[in-house]
Amino acid sequence: MEPEKKSFFNTKFIRFLGGKNLLFGLVTLLLVGITLMIFDKVSFIFKPIFVFIHTIVLPVILAVIGFYLLRPVLKLLMKLKIPKIWGIALIYLAVIGLITLLVTLVVPFLKEQFTNLISEFPQFFSQFVEVIQNFVADSRFTSTLDKYNINLDETVTQVGTDLTNYVKEAASNLGTGLASGITGFVSTLAGIVLALVTAPFILFYLLKDGEKLPKAFVKLFPPRMRPDTTHLLKTADSQISSYIQGQIIVAFCIGVMVTIGFLIIGLDYAVPLGFLAMITSVVPYLGPLIAITPAAIIAVVTAPVMLLKLAVVWTVVQLIDGKFISPQVMGKSLHVHPITIIFVLLTAGSLFGVPGVVLGIPSYAVLKVLVTHLWNLYKKRYNKFQDEDDMHYDVELLKSEEEELKKNKQ
């Protein structure tokens, strides 16, 4: 038997990278780059596709959130021997009834409370600034401010004047851009109405045939890649499901606890402030800071001791959430460090605004699952082409990581 001829593609390093497949991959990458360059030159041709994606993205997101919230309920109904179609019908009837109850009983009260809060908040803020001025004037900060020739009254007056001028300028600009503003508002309103109308239909088919979508997607891949793709999809599904369901439950619990606490201490506008805390709690770390700010301003204006009561309520709520609710509901399914979460929120917010803040963490979780899975495949491939045993990645560690992923999936 003639010995195999040595060539560039038979070296250990090139065989590890894929041998002749490496050349194919490089050519493919080159073709992708050329395609992107051509696409950049003729992007106007694909404008209808972008418009289509921009139109459907909101209803699809709403439907997906509803799917992950209602899927456990549907599974429970199916365990009770209720057919899937009838289960979906029962869920829709319950949701419609709940929405009707909220619209007739809760929404008018919240609307009145929020209207009063918005109309009176400038007065609260003015009184808050006055309290801060009096505190600084009666404290040791006065000598420090005088030392650096800082006049607090003039500074506050200048800030107020600047804000007033800004509002006037914005009002004048509003008149000039009214026509374009109306057009944009009508377009946005039409998109929202379209999303609210189409989302229930998309949600219905997700609940009915949602389990078939991953199987259909997996069939697009070669048979050799299907097991890994199936595992990846199941892990990502588990991550998204646990995050969405957990965040909704945690936010609801925080809103109820904050409302009860504010009512106990007698803080004005306890219900709208609790509702605001519930909404903003969807955003980790930054949400509570947004929610506590207006409550702190109202507490300072009401009475100095009210601020202390507010601090006690907020501390108790955060302790209960951090020690009992979040660990039980959310667990550690995402395995994301708090610093990473903050960076993701800041980056996603800068790139995509409010949608980026809301969807940044689950998107990062899915990306992390993909990268982790590819890294495990890389380590297995490395061990396969590495002759020295002491240079291998720890196989037991790989197995423990796979078992951990399976536990998270369950």
pLDDT one digit per residue (tens) for the chain, 410 residues: 455 555 655 666 666 666 666 677 788 888 888 888 887 787 777 777 777 777 788 888 888 888 988 888 888 988 888 888 898 999 999 989 988 888 788 777 777 877 877 777 777 777 777 776 666 666 555 666 666 666 555 665 665 566 556 545 654 554 454 444 455 555 566 667 777 788 888 888 888 888 888 888 888 888 888 888 888 888 888 878 888 888 888 888 888 999 999 899 888 888 888 888 888 887 776 777 788 888 888 888 887 788 888 889 988 988 888 777 777 665 555 566 777 777 887 888 788 777 777 778 788 878 888 888 778 777 777 777 666 666 676 666 656 656 665 565 45
Measured at the CA of 341, the angle between CA 335 and CA 342, to 5 degrees, comes to: 155
> How would DSSP label each residue in 61-111?
HHHHHHHHHHHHHHHHHHHTT--HHHHHHHHHHHHHHHHHHIIIIIHHHHH
Q: Output the pTM of the full model.
A: 0.66
Q: How far is CA 80 from CA 73, 92, 111, 206, 272, in A?
A: 11, 17, 40, 21, 39
The CA radius of gyration of the chain, in Å to the nearest whole number, is: 28
Q: Which two tokens stand for residue 297?
A: 């301003």
Q: Any idea what DSSP says for residue 138? A: T
Of the candidates 2, 5, 8, 6, which has an alpha carbon nearest to the alpha carbon of residue 20?
8
**Given this model, what pLDDT does residue 188 score?**
63
Closest CA to 326 of 314, 318, 336: 318
Domain-by-domain residue ranges, the chain? 12-41, 43-209, 211-410
Largest pairwise CA distance in the chain: 98
pLDDT at 324: 77
Give pLDDT, residue 93: 93
> CA–CA separation, 33 vs 45, rounded Å?
18
Burial of 112 (0-12, 13-18, 19+ CB in 10 A): exposed
List of long-range contacts for 299-303, beta carbons under 8 Å, 24+ apart: 299/267, 300/128, 300/131, 301/124, 301/127, 301/128, 301/131, 302/267, 302/268
What is the predicted pLDDT for the residue at 13? 62
What does the DSSP assignment read for 245-284? HHHHHHHHHHHHHHHHHHHHHT-TTHHHHHHHHHHHTTST
Euclidean distance between CA atoms 2 and 123, whole angstroms: 93
- Measured between alpha carbons, how far is 260 from 292 in angstroms, rounded to an integer? 15
Taking the C-alpha atoms of residue 373 and residue 380, their distance in angstroms, rounded to an integer, is: 11
192-229 in b/e form (b: 16+ CB < 10 A) is eeebeebbeebbbebbeebeeebeeebeeeeeeeeeeb
Tokens of 201: 């239909």
Q: How many CB atoms lie within 10 A of CB 85?
A: 11
* Contacting residues for 305 by C-beta, under 8 A, at least 6 apart: none
Listed in sequence order, the residues at least 6 apart from 82 whose beta carbon sits closer than 8 Å to its beta carbon are 90
Are 362 and 240 spatial neighbours (Cβ–Cβ below 8 Å)?
A: yes
